[in-house]
Amino acid sequence: MEETLLAVMYEVPSRKDVEKVVITPAVVRKEEEPTYVPRSIGSAKRTKGEKSDKSSEEKSA
């Protein structure tokens, strides 16, 4: 499993356009590449320290 994730672990932190990476059994078997799910335009602009509107709404409820 570590071998499968190694490239992803080094690449994704520097990519601000990626929300998540989908690893399927076919990826582990090296039949497919991982699927990179892009961030929405609004969330791509947030920085690491910023919170989403959803989390602030939940706290005020």
Q: What is the pLDDT along the chain (61 residues), one digit of tens a residue?
A: 788 889 899 999 999 999 999 999 999 999 999 999 999 866 545 545 545 544 444 555 5
pLDDT at position 59, please? Answer: 52
Which two structure tokens, joined as six digits, stand for 55? Answer: 């989390």
d(CA 20, CA 37): 5
For residue 26, CA distances in Å to 4, 18, 52 come to 11, 21, 33
Strand partners, 20: 37
